[in-house]
Amino acid sequence: MLDDSDIVQCLNETIINHCQSFNQTMISNLSMNLTLPTLTPPSPIRLTNEQMKTKREEITKIFNDTISM
């Protein structure tokens, strides 16, 4: 049978090892969460001539409103 001091030391080492393992897991999870996903470019938007004209008019209106402020 183990002496009380040996049991306490063994438990202490077990707790320390568990804490270190937990800390490594936390660090690993944090580093994984900080990595950015790989983004793919959006597919091109196809607009008709009339839609393009409408968009240009909207952009021009927003631009002129911003300038006049």
* 3-state DSSP of the chain: CCCHHHHHHHHHHHHHHHHHHHHHHHHHHHHHHHCCCCCCCCCCCCCCHHHHHHHHHHHHHHHHHHHHC
For each of the chain's 69 residues, which pLDDT tens digit applies? 567 777 777 777 777 776 666 666 666 665 555 566 677 777 777 888 898 899 899 989 888 888 876
Residues 55 and 47 sit within 8 Å (Cβ to Cβ): yes
